[in-house]
Copies of this chain bind each other. A is one copy, B any other.
Amino acid sequence: MPSSVRSRRPAAPSARRPRKRAYHHGDLRRALLEEAVRTIQAEGVEGVTLRQVGERLGVSRTALYRHFADKGALLAAVAREGFRTFRDALAQGVAGAATAEAGFAAMGHAYVRFAVTHSSHYRVMFGGFVDACDRDPELEAEASAGFMVLVDAIVRQQATGHLRADDPQQMARYVWSVMHGVAMLIIDGQLRGADPEAEVAYAIDRLNRGIVAVR
């Protein structure tokens, strides 16, 4: 691997196009990401195959390695994207509500709604496919940002005396556990015979009752 390559940048060969539409794609990285999401939605996470993704994009099955370290990195990128839109969904849930209490409930509904409508993303995010952010610090940051939205909401409600004065982190982990449990059982189809919306509503009621301050 001669390092002289680096300094030898030949002048742009034809005019000065931003991207010269080389080979098949302008932005293969983006295309790979989108195709992966599409496949996950259609066939689940284990249905994602580098060969199939490549073929569907009219590209060699090894072209991906120019843009991602390996298959795990592809999935991690999907998860990262998921965490960003997840956090937005949560924040929007809180923002649209009149009272802090209503905002809390709205956040719960938003949580499960995201898990159900983006179950492919959700599974990649929390299903243990990406090995808990170990390899991707950016992913870690995105994930804990979502957790922070929850902690903030709790702190605000503790300040008004509406929630118990427990360690907010501890309480946030509990709230997260509850919503995660409900979401997982629903998208895994384990709660069959039960209406998902009703399930969430009941859970939020009972959850809330368990953490409010005694008047």
Enumerate chain A interface residues (CB-CB to B < 8 A): 126, 128, 132, 166, 170-171, 173-174, 176-182, 184-185, 188-192, 194, 199, 202-203, 206-211
Query: A166 CB to closest chain B CB, in angstroms?
Result: 8
Check if B190 sits within 8 Å of A132, measured CB to CB: yes
Check if B181 sits within 8 Å of A177, measured CB to CB: yes
Check if A173 sits within 8 Å of B191, measured CB to CB: yes
Q: Which residue from B126, B184, B206 sits with its C-beta under 8 Å from A180?
A: B184
A185 with B177: in contact, given A209-B209, A210-B207 (CB under 8 Å)?
A: yes
In angstroms, Cα B213 to Cα A191, docked, is 25
Q: Which residue from B181, B189, B199, B207 sits with its C-beta under 8 Å from A132?
A: B189
* Contact partners of A182 in chain B: CB under 8 A: 174, 177, 181
Query: A208 CB to closest chain B CB, in angstroms?
Result: 8
In angstroms, Cα B180 to Cα A194, docked, is 17
Nearest-neighbor residue (CB-CB) of A147 within chain B: B190
A173 with B189: in contact, given A209-B209, A211-B206 (CB under 8 Å)?
A: no
Check if A199 sits within 8 Å of B173, measured CB to CB: yes
Q: Which residue from B176, B179, B184, B210 sits with its C-beta under 8 Å from A209?
A: B210
Check if B189 sits within 8 Å of A177, measured CB to CB: no
* Contact partners of A209 in chain B: CB under 8 A: 209-211
